[in-house]
Amino acid sequence: MLTIKQITENTDAVIRGLEKKHFKNAKETIDQVIAFNDKRRSTQSILDNNLSEVNSISKSIGQLMKEGKKEEAETAKSRVAELKEVNKTLQTEMDQAAEDMQNLLYTIPNVPYDEVPEGVGAEDNVVEKMGGMETELPKDALPHWELTKKYDLIDFDLGVKITGAGFPVYKGKGAQLQRALINFFLDEARKAGYLEIMPPTVVNAASGYGTGQLPDKEGQMYHCEVDDLYLIPTAEVPVTNIYRDVILEEKQLPIKNCAYTQCFRREAGSYGKDVRGLNRLHEFSKVELVRIDKPEHSRQSHKEMLDHVEGLLQKLELPYRILRLCGGDMSFTAALCFDFEVYSEAQKRWLEVSSVSNFDTYQANRLKCRYRSGEKKTELCHTLNGSALALPRIVAALLENNQTPEGIRIPKALVPYTGFEMID
């Protein structure tokens, strides 16, 4: 959530940033926030003056009674009663202005950094880097949904029977490969200094608001209505909320956490080749990195996270590219975001496997996540996160890009985790 200070001191820059994200009616919305804030402040000022007058008059009443000035004392009492009634109205108006402002702020996305390119959608993202190994496949190469059937690795039809579309059942070496990737990603995160967290996979509404999934993505989250709980779309939500309403000491930063969870997303898109098989699911596994940092160090943290994800893809021997997202393709909460995509040789298309984002103070302001600096004053932290990695499309690319006439080759880095070198 944008801070009032950010909006009032840099109004034009905030509006320009929101327009870069193609937020509709940016100027009108920001003007309305400022109007609510002005109303809240002016009402607070009148209320403070009235309260001061009430205190002053109340103190004088006793003295007037002692001096026998009963009539003046009664007049003073009437004035106090009158002011108290006025103050009730003022308090109601001030609370309403504050609530209206807060509700409106929840609907406003984060402002992108200056280096975020202009653009409307994915076609306007900028390719920053390409890397990895080129792949040569047999002429009769199969997409992963055919390979999983051929080698009995994943049963999509069984998932439909048990639950519905988008909930696959992993079997045999398919399940072992999935578990191997989870352990590999977690071990690599631990080596990089991340503390592993095992959080709940359901959260309350306060957690959803804290990281910005609510109200923006409410329709995309599974909602347990009886208990008013939400299935998480990413471990970012519970892990970042560990630091909600917390004041950290400067020496604790940066905080580096990682977590493996199942993730749940209602909106799986339309049917077709782009969402077939593992390309888009309602339930999937993911290892997430979360950092809490000081503002002056968050860009360095962001770079370290990007390097970490790139290193994972290199060890998995996958062809990849890194995209700097344009304003129109960035998430609601991000100030700067890079996507990682791996190339599926069999599908002849790029598959997104990670987004690594810096949220600046946007989430921290919602969370009231602060740190105490050397001068003992508190400041908002910066929050960052990134997938390291989301498994479905990694599995798809590994199966497709490593198929041979003899079977599917396992990358060397994964063999200690799978216990086998080939799927045959």
Question: Is residue 230 located within the same domain as residue 378?
Answer: yes
Residue 78 annotated in ligand binding: no
Residue 267 annotated in ligand binding: yes
> Residue 413 falls within a domain, yes or no?
yes
Residue 385 annotated in ligand binding: yes
pLDDT of the residue at 272: 53
Residue 324 annotated in ligand binding: no
Q: Which of 54, 41, 37 is nearest to 88 (CA)?
A: 54
∠252-253-254 over CA atoms, to 5°? 135
Residue 354 annotated in ligand binding: yes
CB 335 within 8 A of CB 114: no
- State which of 106, 134, 157 marks the end of a domain: 106
CATH number reported for the structural domain that contains residue 296 in this entry? 3.30.930.10
Secondary structure string (H, E, C) spanning 44-75: HHHHHHHHHHHHHHHHHHHHHHHCCCHHHHHH
Mean pLDDT by 10 residues, the chain (424 residues): 97 98 97 98 95 89 83 87 93 96 97 98 97 84 96 97 96 98 98 98 97 90 96 98 97 97 79 76 97 98 98 97 98 98 92 98 98 88 98 97 96 98 97
> Residue 268 falls within a domain, yes or no?
yes
Residue 345 annotated in ligand binding: no
Question: Is residue 93 located within the same domain as residue 136?
Answer: no
> Residue 116 falls within a domain, yes or no?
no
> Residue 346 falls within a domain, yes or no?
yes
Residue 60 annotated in ligand binding: no
Question: Is residue 384 located within the same domain as residue 291?
Answer: yes
Residue 53 annotated in ligand binding: no
Question: Is residue 101 located within the same domain as residue 154?
Answer: no
Number of domains in the chain: 2
> Residue 117 falls within a domain, yes or no?
no
> Residue 114 falls within a domain, yes or no?
no
∠405-409-414 over CA atoms, to 5°? 175
> Residue 115 falls within a domain, yes or no?
no
Q: What is the pTM assigned to this prediction?
A: 0.92
Domain enclosing residue 198, as ranges? 122-423
> Residue 112 falls within a domain, yes or no?
no
The residues that bridge with 264 in the sheet, in sequence order, are: 283
Question: Is residue 45 located within the same domain as residue 127?
Answer: no
Does the N-terminal peptide bond of residue 295 adopt cis geometry, omega within 30 degrees of 0? no
Question: Is residue 227 located within the same domain as residue 352?
Answer: yes
